Amino acid sequence: MLAGCEFTCKNPECEHFESGLTMTSPWPIGDIDLVIDACVFDEFKEKLIERKTNGRKYAQIQFPDTIKVAVAGYRISFWSPEGKTIWAYDIMATDLEDIDKKIANDLSIPKKCPTTDGELLNFSEAIDKGITCTSCKVATIQNRWFTNEN
């Protein structure tokens, strides 16, 4: 099941009050041209076209996926607690079962934060450990969501 979590600062004294960041579980990606064709939101379509122009080959598949874009792989996200950054990487695996093995064997995916050399937390670990606001350092509130897509 695909899932995501919005981590929102609820500290009224913080400059980032009521804002935050979103992480997802490994999310299916497809050929960017097909994802652009399937996109029904003009605002998102413009961003996808911009990313394609800048060299991006794949994009996250939006749901519901009415034209059934073929899954080419998965985009995985990591949180760097020290660097206060989300790092995202594309894994060319068509089965979720292969993701952990692919991550372990893919030398292009760092095991530590590229900027701080600190730990990287995957989606599940970020939920378990929590994320603090990048500004005030207070624990964020988690709003988890799920899809019924596989």
Selection from 149, 121, 148, 150 nearest residue 23 by Cα: 121
The residue segments making up the domain with residue 75 are: 3-146
Q: Output the pLDDT for position 50.
A: 96
Q: Output the pLDDT for position 150.
A: 47
Number of domains the chain contains? 1
Q: Output the pLDDT for position 41.
A: 83
Q: Output the pLDDT for position 1.
A: 73
**Backbone CA torsion sign across 2, 125, 102, 6:** positive
Q: Output the pLDDT for position 148.
A: 61
Annotate 34-62 with DSSP letters as a single string.
Answer: HHHHH---HHHHHHHHHHHHTT--EEEPP
pLDDT mean values, one per 10 residues, the chain (150 residues): 92 96 94 90 91 95 80 94 95 82 87 96 95 96 78
